[in-house]
Amino acid sequence: MKHLNDIYEEEPFNFQMVYNEFQKFIQRKAHSVYNFEKPVVMKAFEHLQQLELIKPMERTSVNSQREYQLVKLLLDNTQIMNALQKYSNCPTDVRQWATSSLSWL
């Protein structure tokens, strides 16, 4: 989400965009142990909403597809980087991905 926030200059994004970015990360790391099924990633995304780290831009309707609902990241880059420094168990690959200034396109 940090990369999407940087690329789109803090414009809203959706789960599908996050999942696509995650898949690019996985493809770059062929040996990756982070290859989770889409429903697992969706559950993690929903958990971030529950923690109020991301918020929907509009009220969720019954007919809307959750993966395309626009959300906004409520953290700035400094907060993300501070959290990474404090989380000593963060995998090196994930830490490098977060600190890189380039998207893994």
Q: What pLDDT is stored for residue 52 in this prediction?
A: 95
Select from 30, 28, 26, 24 the least CA-distant residue to 4: 24
CA distance 90 to 82: 12
Q: What pLDDT is stored for residue 103 in this prediction?
A: 46
Please state the rounded mean pLDDT for residues 88-101.
Answer: 82
pLDDT digits (tens, 9 = 90+) for 52-87: 999 999 876 666 788 999 999 999 988 988 998 899
Q: Where are the beta strands (DSSP E) in 8-105?
A: 54-56, 71-73
Dihedrals φ, ψ of 72, to 5°? -125, 135
Please state the rounded mean pLDDT for residues 98-104.
Answer: 62
Say if residues 25 and 104 touch (Cβ distance below 8 Å).
yes
pTM of the model: 0.81
Look at residue 105 and tell me whether its pLDDT is greater than 50: no
The model's confidence at residue 104, banded by pLDDT at 50, 70 and 90, is very low
Both tokens assigned to 97? 């991905």
Look at residue 9 and tell me whether its pLDDT is greater than 80: yes
